[in-house]
Amino acid sequence: MKTASIDSFIFNFGGIKIPGSQVFLLRKNVIGLVNLKPLTDGHVLVCSRREVTRMKFLNEAETLDLWYSAMEVQKTMEDIYKVLEF
């Protein structure tokens, strides 16, 4: 059985279609996206895979996955860009 490449997928981010080539993290409840117009080096997006209008509408598993993923990505970006802690 042939598995599809992430590049063949399209993800919705609000009203914007994000190609799979911009995805660097894909989990059951979370997606990590490269920001095409970053504010600074290492600026990326970590989002819920399920579209909701407010974070309060995420269930407990989605909320935990989102926050743990965001912390993991933050640590990785700090290591890559040699960010010093204050």
- pLDDT score recorded for residue 65: 98
1, pLDDT greater than 60: no
- pLDDT score recorded for residue 43: 93
Q: How far apart are CA 79 and CA 29, in angstroms?
A: 24
- Domains in the chain with CATH codes: 23-80 (3.30.428.10)
Exposed e or buried b for every residue in 7-35, given b needs 16+ CB within 10 A?
Answer: eeeebeeeeeebeeebbebeeebbbbbee
Percent of the chain with pLDDT over 70: 93
Average pLDDT score, the chain: 90
Q: Which pLDDT tens digit goes with each residue over 42-76? A: 899 999 999 999 999 999 999 999 999 999 999 99
